[in-house]
Amino acid sequence: MLPNYVQYRVELFKYRRDANALRKSEPPDSEQSYESGEMAEYVRRWELSEQWRASIQTSYYRRKAESLLVQMPDELDSTMFSRVDWNDHPDEPYYLTPLGLRTVRDLIRAEQKQRRESVGYWFGIAVGLIGAVTGLVSAFKS
């Protein structure tokens, strides 16, 4: 299994490749494409593509939150999560809304900051002790 960030970047690369292919297949902005339903089908596929991107981001932040032991918001909270629309299929995945993404990112950043600060605290103590021992050794040596 790839590291979380590498897996995220690979999935985003695949998404961008498919999104570019979809963008190239955009029907012309004409009355005929609207009447034939080509434009409606294109818009539906574009919305599914955007939901796929949101699903990729959600899985990345979910894995990151699990590794940091950060609690994810409840999937039933409609302000934090939405579902991919697959015509009421029971396996529709949940994805984070923009508010949910912001909330999860803030929680992850707070946890990472707390961990960095605790490491910095102990690192400072260790460097101070090493400096004190070095000073004592050099003082007694001469």
Task: Report d(CA 127, CA 61) in Å as an integer.
Answer: 35
Model confidence pLDDT, tens digit, residues 85-118: 766 666 778 999 999 999 999 999 999 999 999 9
Burial of 100 (0-12, 13-18, 19+ CB in 10 A): buried
pLDDT bracket for residue 79 (50, 70, 90): very high
